[in-house]
């Protein structure tokens, strides 16, 4: 699909995932094309991308540059595979995302153990610990690892000779997440930072920094005054109401905080318990959640609690070796 002359969207399927598709964008350049995000490393995804390019009269070797908004498998997974068929293609990502590749996708055992320690500290019981700390491991098979050729820091302008993309560092969903702003056509490539329907997952992680939700809200505020006429997200559909959508997402997190405050109003509680008491957008009751859903729930809850602590509305203390939170006195 051609969005404006020279900017195309290819929908790349994501298997067994409610998101359904990753939106890959391909932008025309004078000496080659620039691709934003790639899709998972599966044969179906590779075929879909290849077919999409063929429909535009292109091969992978016409892609001069791949920019990944962050290194989650659905955005970065195919980059290594593409570089195998087109070795001259340059991969760019934010410096902080580049640093995550080795620990997440190569030497992953150490990271899994560290994550296990964090989960235990937040009250995850021993019987659930193994499955929760390993819950993100299946994603490994959807990544074809390659290292970035160029590190980005934010503030650069990537020019294709036709389009000029300003790199906007928007940490939160991932510490080195970037958006790309094409000011002449007022187009924002928003990655997973801002999606039209779902709110992106903001989770506490050993690599997320102290308060990923504070980072995320700051990153939303940073984009609020952009005069965008079209927002091109990495999932779901293209939308126009950037400021309104940012305000909705901020409101969503305010409501989550309110719900959490209700659980700890009487006495201090740990993040695992709090997660079991608040509402989730999952049809099953809490005790039937699968491990990955539970892990996402508890790490999102920690992100909210740490944000509230950063604001000064809750306090954190250690009780019998477990972190609990209470309403600030
Ligand atoms: Zn993501």
The pLDDT tens digits for 29-39 are 999 999 999 99
Distance from residue 265's CA to the centre of ligand 1 (Å)? 33
Give the pLDDT band (50/70/90) at residue 207.
Answer: confident
Nearby residues for ligand 1 (ion, Cβ within 5 Å): 72, 192
* Average of per-residue pLDDT across 99-105: 92
Distance from residue 174's CA to the centre of ligand 1 (Å)? 7
List the CATH code of the domain at 108-135+255-327.
1.10.10
CATH fold, domain 2-102+139-248, is Metallo-beta-lactamase; Chain A (3.60.15)
Encode pLDDT of 45-84 as tens digits.
999 999 999 999 999 999 999 999 999 999 999 999 999 9
Distance from residue 195's CA to the centre of ligand 1 (Å)? 11
Give the pLDDT band (50/70/90) at residue 90.
Answer: very high
Distance from residue 139's CA to the centre of ligand 1 (Å)? 12
Judge whether residue 139 has pLDDT over 80: yes
Distance from residue 236's CA to the centre of ligand 1 (Å)? 13
Give the pLDDT band (50/70/90) at residue 138.
Answer: confident
> Residue ranges per domain, the chain?
2-102+139-248, 108-135+255-327
- Lowest-confidence range among 84-98, 129-143, 150-164, 297-311? 129-143
Encode pLDDT of 275-314 as tens digits.
999 999 889 999 999 999 999 999 999 999 999 999 999 9
3-state SS string for the chain: CEEECCEEEEEEECCCCCCCEEEEEEECCCCCEEEECCCCCCHHHHHHHHHHHHHCCCCHHHEEEEECCCCCHHHHCCHHHHHHHCCCCEEEEEHHHHHHHHHHHHCHHHHHHHHHHHHHHCCCCHHHHHHHHCCCHHHHHHCCCCCCCEEECCCCEEECCCCEEEEEECCCCCCCCEEEEECCCCEEEEECCCCCCCCCCCCCCCCCCCCHHHHHHHHHHHHCCCCCCEEEECCCCCECCHHHHHHHHHHHHHHHHHHHHHHHCCCCECHHHHHHHCCCCCCCCHHHCCHHHHHHHHHHHHHHHHHHHHHCCEEEEEECCEEEEEECC
**pLDDT in the model for residue 137:** 77
Distance from residue 123's CA to the centre of ligand 1 (Å)? 26
Distance from residue 244's CA to the centre of ligand 1 (Å)? 22
- Quote the percentage of the chain above a pLDDT of 90: 89
Give the chain's mean pLDDT.
95
């Amino acid at each position: 699909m051609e969005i404006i002359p020279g900017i195309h969207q290819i929908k790349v399927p994501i298997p067994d995932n409610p998101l359904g598709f990753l939106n890959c964008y391909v932008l025309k350049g004078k000496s080659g094309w620039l691709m934003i995000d790639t899709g998972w490393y599966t044969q179906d995804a590779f075929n879909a991308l290849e077919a999409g390019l063929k429909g535009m009269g292109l091969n992978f070797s016409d892609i001069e540059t791949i920019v990944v908004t962050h290194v989650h498998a659905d955005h970065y997974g195919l980059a290594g595979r593409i570089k195998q068929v087109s070795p001259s293609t340059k991969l760019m990502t934010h410096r902080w995302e580049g640093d995550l590749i080795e620990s997440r996708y190569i030497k992953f055992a150490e990271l899994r153990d560290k994550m296990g320690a964090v989960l235990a500290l937040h009250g995850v019981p021993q019987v659930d610990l193994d499955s929760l700390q390993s819950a993100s491991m299946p994603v490994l098979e959807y990544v074809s690892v390659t290292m970035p050729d160029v590190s980005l820091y934010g503030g650069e302008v990537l020019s294709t000779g036709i389009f000029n993309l300003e790199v906007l560092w928007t940490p939160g969903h991932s510490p080195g997440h970037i958006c790309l702003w094409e000011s002449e056509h007022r187009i924002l490539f928003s990655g997973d930072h801002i999606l039209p329907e779902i709110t992106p997952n903001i989770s506490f992680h050993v690599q997320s920094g102290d308060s990923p939700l504070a980072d995320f809200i700051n990153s939303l505020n940073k984009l609020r005054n952009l005069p965008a006429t079209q927002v091109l997200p990495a999932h779901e559909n293209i939308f126009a109401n950037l400021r309104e959508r940012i305000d909705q997402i901020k409101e969503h997190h305010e409501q989550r905080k309110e719900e959490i405050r209700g659980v700890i109003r009487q006495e201090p509680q740990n993040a695992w318990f709090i997660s079991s008491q608040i509402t989730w957008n999952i049809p099953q009751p809490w005790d039937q959640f699968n491990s990955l859903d539970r892990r996402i729930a508890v790490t999102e809850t920690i992100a909210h609690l740490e944000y509230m602590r950063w604001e000064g509305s809750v306090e954190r203390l250690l009780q019998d070796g477990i972190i609990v939170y209470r309403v600030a006195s």
